[in-house]
Amino acid sequence: MSNGPPRLNANAFEFKPRFAPPPPPPVDRPTDDAPPPPPAPTISLNIGGARPAPPAPPAAPPVLAAVPEDKVAPTPPRAASPKPKIATGPSSTAFTLERAATDAEAIAREAQALADAETLEDLYGKDEPEEEIGKQHLNVVFIGHVDAGKSTMGGNILFLCGMVDKRTMEKYEKEAKEAGRDSWYLSWALDSTPQERAKGKTVEVGRAYFETEKRRYTILDAPGHKTYVPSMISGAAQADIAILVISARKGEFETGFERGGQTREHIMLVKTAGVSRLIVAINKMDDPTVEWSKERYAEIKDKLTPFIKSAGFNPKTDVTFMPLSAYTGVNLKERVSKDVAPWYDGQALLEHLDDMPMIDRKVRGPVMIPVSEKYKDMGTVVVGKIESGRLRKGDTLLMMPNRTQVEASAIYNELEEEVSHAICGDNVRIRLRGVDDEDISPGFVLTSPNRPVHAVRQFEAQLAILEHKNIICAGYQAVMHVHTLAEEVSLSALLHYFDKKTGRKSKKPPQFAKRGQRVVALVEASAPVCVERFSDYPQLGRFTLRDEGKTIAIGRITKLIESSVDEVTESMAHVTVSAGAA
């Protein structure tokens, strides 16, 4: 026998596949007639598959004394006890696994939702309470042929809403009389430059602000002369609602609506700019040639409706006609009297504006603010409409396409009041820190650093050819108007055309395009332009092509083609030089 420590014999211990309770004190074994004692408590963990067999009754306590190996008697073999039969069909296992998978998917979805919410909050902040956002803000553009009465209507609305006091209006009336423009004094509230007052024509997009009990409004008074259509497009790009002002005076409606007038082009341009609601204000109903004639009103309405429908508006749901007098103010704020127009039972203009459906805004999207103006005032100040997201004082932004990092050091509303924040739909003036005004041009976009707007030189677009004398081939050049940007582009390739009957795209590229056709084209700019796909951000994905003073085509961007790093670096130098020259 060895002198070392005794070796343990593994057969001297008996282990059970469960946690056994402490050994019970010796008791008399019950007889066969006595009911069996309750089973000892066990812990069961079900991880799928067949249910385990019930535990065996507790055995005698194990012998813990170490016995030399040569003294241990061999353990007699145990008789195998029959195991209970348990159903282990595939349905039980499949059900358990399916339930586990479903639970896992639910947990994953919940975790993803939490992650998305946290990401959105981290990028764009928490939702503002309704009382902090306040009244919804709407941008209203006045469009129509020259001398239809757009500026007069805007000036009278400002007066009726208390934005211009009586003393100021009397001053305008006196000055207009001295200048031989007696009936134009109301328009001077919007036409503020000496050039506009002398000519009696709006040249730039006039801006004004008014407020009702329900909403806040910005008036964008677009010029009506065909020479200033680019300015009109810039105003339409910032609008939510368009008011088409029509002169009911005999001969004036016909001049504006016939070919060569601006009524048709303005309707089409506001639709292309993304305006979904149109109010047709038939003005000058008090004129001696009209005298609130129901027949004249119906005649104008019947002639306009087919063209409005062809431009893409639904006359039943998107368009409202109303008669009024911008000069006297009848049917602007208060409804026209039944003594004057017993045949009209509709709303007044401001009443209808207040009751229009709410505009859906991308408040929780990334910040996107196309720059419409820029100037120096104790630093660099830019003007624009927030097309997406919300802006807070002190936010860090990128000025695209130059990717210049800037800080919004101050935000001003339409009343020139400094505010702490602004949201999608607001027209704002922003004082920037970190950039010089010489490095900014209209058409640049202020955007979130985490999700900047795309800046590309090439993109694919669907084009609808509206008017062109000749055929359009690859290499055709025109001026593209998209949001507040005007940039010369070329159609580097025609990729497909759409069959008028089936609406399907052709497999082969067309050789040319002509009036009335729809095509897919590859559009190329000389420098990066800030655009998005129409399906993602409509206001930055729709555009018009103009050439020789006419609107040639309207388009929607369907695909962006990213440039290489070298191309972007080379193009940025061109953009910087162009901005400095502007």
CATH (domain of 510)? 2.40.30.10
Residues 434 and 472 reside in one and the same domain = no
Q: Residue 456: which of 550, 568, 295 has the closest Cα?
A: 568
Tell me the per-residue pLDDT of 471-498, one tens digit each, with 9 for 90 and over: 999 999 999 999 999 999 999 999 999 9
- Does residue 422 contact residue 406 with C-beta atoms inside 8 Å? no
Q: Check pLDDT > 80 for residue 282.
A: yes
The two three-digit tokens of residue 578, written as one number: 């162009």
Other CB atoms within 10 Å distance of the CB of residue 383: 19
Pick from 253-262, 272-281, 309-318: least confident: 253-262
Q: Check pLDDT > 70 for residue 76.
A: no
Whole-number pLDDT of residue 501:
82
Give 197's pLDDT tier (boundaries 50, 70, 90).
low
Tell me the per-residue pLDDT of 523-562, one tens digit each, with 9 for 90 and over: 999 999 999 999 999 999 999 999 988 889 999 999 999 8
Residues 573 and 530 reside in one and the same domain = yes
Tell me the per-residue pLDDT of 19-72, one tens digit each, with 9 for 90 and over: 455 555 555 554 555 555 555 444 444 444 444 455 555 454 444 444 444 444
Q: Which structural domain, as residue segments, surrounds residue 570?
A: 454-581
In which residue are the tokens 């803000």 written? Answer: 137
Whole-number pLDDT of residue 47:
40
Whole-number pLDDT of residue 359:
82
Q: Select from 355, 378, 394 the last residue of a domain.
A: 355
Whole-number pLDDT of residue 86:
42
Give 114's pLDDT tier (boundaries 50, 70, 90).
very low
Residues 194 and 291 reside in one and the same domain = yes
Whole-number pLDDT of residue 48:
44
In which residue are the tokens 């409509």 written? Answer: 538
Q: How far apart, in whole angstroms, are the C-alpha atoms of residue 422 and residue 424? A: 7
Residues 266 and 250 reside in one and the same domain = yes
Q: What is the mean pLDDT of residues 321-327?
A: 96
Whole-number pLDDT of residue 91:
45
Q: How far apart, in whole angstroms, are the C-alpha atoms of residue 3 and residue 11? A: 22
Q: Residue 479: which of 133, 302, 147, 229 has the closest Cα?
A: 229
Residues 197 and 329 reside in one and the same domain = yes
Q: Select from 355, 380, 411 the last residue of a domain.
A: 355
Residues 270 and 201 reside in one and the same domain = yes
Give 564's pLDDT tier (boundaries 50, 70, 90).
low
Residues 501 and 437 reside in one and the same domain = no
Q: Residue 430: which of 397, 454, 403, 404 has the closest Cα?
A: 397
In which residue are the tokens 């007038």 written? Answer: 261
Whole-number pLDDT of residue 193:
59
Q: How far apart, in whole angstroms, are the C-alpha atoms of residue 572 and residue 564? A: 12
Query: Mean pLDDT of all residues in the chain?
Result: 79
pTM exceeds 0.75: no
Secondary structure string (H, E, C) spanning 396-412: EEEEECCCEEEEEEEEE
Residues 213 and 304 reside in one and the same domain = yes
Residues 205 and 264 reside in one and the same domain = yes
Pick from 23-32, 461-470, 570-579: least confident: 570-579
| Helix 150-160, helix 166-178: angle, nearest 10 | 150
Q: Residue 154: which of 144, 138, 142, 170 has the closest Cα?
A: 142
Residue 122 covered by a domain: no
Half-sphere exposure (Cβ direction) of 249: Cα atoms closer than 13 Å:
14
Burial 406-437 (b: 16+ CB within 10 A, else e): bbbbbbbbbeeeeeebbbbbbbbbbbbeebeb
Whole-number pLDDT of residue 280:
97
Residue 235 covered by a domain: yes
Whole-number pLDDT of residue 102:
53
- Does residue 382 contact residue 430 with C-beta atoms inside 8 Å? yes
Residues 6+ apart with CB under 8 A from 257: 145, 263, 264, 303, 304
Q: How far apart, in whole angstroms, are the C-alpha atoms of residue 350 and residue 331? A: 9
Residues 202 and 268 reside in one and the same domain = yes
Burial 334-357 (b: 16+ CB within 10 A, else e): ebbeeeebeebeeebbbbebeeee
Q: What is the mean pLDDT of residues 109-130?
A: 46
Residue type, 575: V
Tell me the per-residue pLDDT of 204-247, one tens digit each, with 9 for 90 and over: 677 889 999 999 999 988 876 777 788 888 888 888 999 999 99
Residue 299 covered by a domain: yes
Whole-number pLDDT of residue 84:
45
Burial degree of 404 (CB within 10 A; 0-12, 13-18, 19+): middle
Q: Residue 84: which of 119, 104, 110, 56 has the closest Cα?
A: 56
Please spell the DSSP secondary structure of 55-116, one letter per residue. PPPP-PPPP-S---GGGPPPPPPPPPPPPPP----HHHHHHHHHHHHHHHHHHHHHHHHHHH
Residue 202 covered by a domain: yes
Residues 410 and 322 reside in one and the same domain = no
Q: Residue 333: which of 322, 343, 342 has the closest Cα?
A: 322
CATH (domain of 237)? 3.40.50.300
Q: How far apart are the first and last CA of the chain?
A: 107
Q: Check pLDDT > 90 for residue 299.
A: yes
242 phi and psi angles, rounded to 5 deg: -115, 135
| Helix 294-310, helix 263-272: angle, nearest 10 | 50
Q: Check pLDDT > 70 for residue 289.
A: yes
Residue 336 covered by a domain: yes
Q: How far apart, in whole angstroms, are the C-alpha atoms of residue 490 and residue 524? A: 5
Q: Select from 447, 471, 500 the last residue of a domain.
A: 447
Residue type, 376: K
Percent of the chain whose pLDDT exceeds 90: 47
Residues 182 and 317 reside in one and the same domain = yes
Q: What is the mean pLDDT of residues 496-508?
A: 87
Q: How many domains does the chain have?
A: 3
Residue 22 covered by a domain: no
Q: What number of residues does the chain have?
A: 582
The two three-digit tokens of residue 531, written as one number: 């655009």
The two three-digit tokens of residue 381, written as one number: 């100040």
The two three-digit tokens of residue 359, written as one number: 């505009």
Please spell the DSSP secondary structure of 510-537, one letter per residue. PS-B-TT-EEEEEEEEEEEEEE--TTT-
Residue 15 covered by a domain: no
The two three-digit tokens of residue 135, written as one number: 């009244």
Answer with the residue of higher pLDDT: 234 or 572. 234
Residue 191 covered by a domain: yes
Give 135's pLDDT tier (boundaries 50, 70, 90).
confident
Q: Residue 276: which of 311, 306, 307, 250 has the closest Cα?
A: 311
What share of residues in the chain are helix, strand, coil (percent, to 5)? 25, 25, 45
Tell me the per-residue pLDDT of 367-405, one tens digit each, with 9 for 90 and over: 999 999 999 988 899 999 999 999 999 999 999 999 999
Whole-number pLDDT of residue 131:
40
Whole-number pLDDT of residue 67:
43
Q: What is the rounded radius of gyration, in angstroms, for the C-alpha atoms of the chain?
A: 39
In which residue are the tokens 């010029």 written? Answer: 223
Whole-number pLDDT of residue 405:
96
